[in-house]
């Protein structure tokens, strides 16, 4: 067996991004289908509604960069799967982790709206969201450059609909890497109704994670860890169980900053993804990534059975992680009905927020150095990937007025 030497790059302990070499394997070039338009990204996020509901994209926060971008219905989970399965350097922001938690929580809130409406919003419910867009900003081809005004409106609207200022602060990301777009995405994910279609199946094969880079600083992940206490306020055992699964994951992410390379840290990242075929046919996923897939889009526990019962559980800090049918990876998106005023014109629209895509870029010097075989084989190309989140403001094909309050009571988009 080859012995790997793991290298960690830090400028100052815990207060800078960290890159950790994980597996002694060279990274491969990204082979995902690149999007050529923003419509391609939206189609990947929300195929059914893209074809049947949306007339056009009025605005979006997602630009079309020079490097490759591939649409995805769950950017974080699918980027993690791809990094493991086909060997890519993986970069994660604290916002990626937080948005995954928020979108999961929204699944639960939507299905339990009758009990939770008074906890999270004023008792009279949520009013319909209205956004003003100037004619100059309407072009779908200008991307984020002309969407800043709308982004600020979307980010600020949450305060009008949540009765508890402390909860409002809890929802909004406030990390060292947070942008105004991130705050808009968080607001929409929390108050939006969930999409019900499943993500495409991801076929698993033997893989390895060449390196992982955590952006931000340790304090960002501490904030997320502390915010998990809010889940204990929700009724039922499921939010508590999800928090129990997430806490060890966040602690080990923090340890990646604070302790550097240790067998424990490397083992944690090596066990992000596991595959399991109990009957030799159907593929199930385990590893700690399943903590971010607890609920389906319908708000039902997505865990079919626990690997511990079948003799194959992955255990982290005494917590057994369940397995997940690879066909049941939930999406990470939410949709909010909005009315858009453009001068004297009023349009019925949908605001869709999502962990929407995967960027593929050239590996950084730190990522290359963290995987020494990369230099030996002189493997070049877009070997590094990163999930990306954003929002789309889409004009609906058909006029259909519904309030967010109605959606929270079961009328999904």
**Is the per-residue pLDDT at 179 higher than 50?**
yes
DSSP per-residue string spanning 314-381: EEETTEEEPPEEGGGPPP-EEEEEEEEEETTEEEEEEEEEEEEEEEEEPPPHHHHHHSHHHHHHT--S
Greater model confidence, 192 or 71: 71
What is the distance between the alpha carbons of residues 220 and 30, in angstroms, rounded to a whole number? 29
* 3-30 tens-digit pLDDT: 333 344 444 446 789 999 888 778 888 9
Tell me what the mean pLDDT of segment 232-243 comes to: 88
Tell me what the mean pLDDT of segment 300-323 comes to: 71
Lowest-confidence region among 9-13, 157-161, 171-175, 187-191: 9-13
> What pLDDT score does 151 carry?
83
Bridging pattern class, strands 89-92 and 384-396: parallel
Tell me what the mean pLDDT of segment 90-97 comes to: 98
**Is the per-residue pLDDT at 175 higher than 90?**
yes
CB 371 within 8 A of CB 210: yes
Greater model confidence, 129 or 386: 386
What is the distance between the alpha carbons of residues 301 and 294, in angstroms, rounded to a whole number? 6
> pTM of the full predicted structure?
0.85
> What pLDDT score does 207 carry?
67
**Is the per-residue pLDDT at 244 higher than 50?**
yes
Highest mean pLDDT among 117-131, 137-151, 163-177, 301-315: 163-177
**Is the per-residue pLDDT at 99 higher than 90?**
yes
Residue located via tokens 């057994």: 320
**Is the per-residue pLDDT at 376 higher than 50?**
no
* Banded pLDDT at 248 (limits 50, 70, 90): very high
Instruction: Output DSSP code: residue 123.
Output: T
Tell me what the mean pLDDT of segment 205-224 comes to: 88
Highest mean pLDDT among 24-33, 65-74, 239-248: 239-248
What is the distance between the alpha carbons of residues 35 and 55, in angstroms, rounded to a whole number? 19
CB 22 within 8 A of CB 6: yes
Summary mean pLDDT of the chain: 78
**Is the per-residue pLDDT at 143 higher than 80?**
no
User: For residue 275, what are the β-bridge partners?
Assistant: 285
What is the distance between the alpha carbons of residues 293 and 93, in angstroms, rounded to a whole number? 18
* 258-296 tens-digit pLDDT: 987 788 999 999 999 987 655 556 677 889 999 999 998
């Amino acid at each position: 067996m080859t012995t790997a030497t793991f290298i960690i790059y830090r400028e100052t302990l815990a207060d800078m991004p960290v890159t950790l070499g994980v597996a002694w394997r060279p990274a491969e070039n990204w082979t995902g289908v690149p999007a050529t338009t923003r419509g391609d990204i939206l189609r990947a996020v929300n195929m059914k509604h893209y074809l049947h509901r949306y007339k056009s994209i009025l605005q979006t926060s997602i630009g079309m960069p020079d490097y490759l971008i591939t649409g995805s219905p769950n950017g974080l989970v699918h980027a993690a799967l791809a990094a493991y399965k086909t060997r890519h350097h993986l970069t994660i922001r604290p916002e990626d982790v937080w948005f995954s938690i928020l979108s999961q929580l929204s699944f639960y809130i939507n299905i339990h709206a009758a009990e939770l409406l008074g906890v999270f919003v004023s008792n009279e419910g949520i009013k319909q969201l209205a956004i003003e867009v100037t004619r100059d900003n309407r072009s779908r081809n200008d991307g984020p450059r002309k969407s800043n005004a709308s982004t600020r409106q979307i980010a600020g609207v949450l305060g009008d609909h949540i009765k508890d200022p402390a909860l409002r602060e809890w929802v909004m990301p406030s990390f060292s890497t947070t942008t105004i777009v991130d705050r808009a995405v968080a607001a929409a994910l929390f108050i939006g109704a969930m999409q019900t279609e499943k993500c495409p199946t991801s076929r698993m094969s033997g893989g390895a994670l060449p390196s992982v880079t955590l952006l931000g600083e340790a304090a960002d992940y501490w904030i997320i860890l502390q915010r998990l206490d809010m889940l204990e306020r929700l009724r039922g055992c499921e939010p508590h169980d999800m928090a129990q699964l997430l806490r060890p994951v966040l602690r080990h992410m923090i340890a990646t900053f604070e302790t550097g390379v240790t067998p424990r840290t490397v083992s944690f990242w090596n066990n992000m993804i596991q595959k399991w075929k109990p009957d030799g046919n159907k593929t199930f996923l385990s590893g700690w990534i399943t903590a971010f897939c607890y609920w389906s889009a319908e708000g039902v526990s997505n865990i079919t059975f626990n690997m511990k019962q079948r003799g194959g559980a992955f255990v982290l800090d005494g917590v057994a992680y369940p397995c997940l049918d690879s066909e049941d990876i939930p999406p990470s998106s939410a949709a909010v009905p909005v009315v858009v005023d453009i001068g004297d014109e009023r349009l019925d629209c949908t605001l869709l927020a999502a962990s929407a895509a995967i960027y593929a870029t050239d590996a950084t010097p730190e990522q290359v150095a963290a995987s020494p075989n990369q230099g030996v084989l002189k493997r070049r190309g877009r070997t590094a990937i990163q999930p990306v989140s954003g929002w789309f403001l889409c004009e609906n094909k058909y006029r259909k007025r519904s309030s967010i309050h109605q959606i929270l009571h079961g009328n999904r988009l």
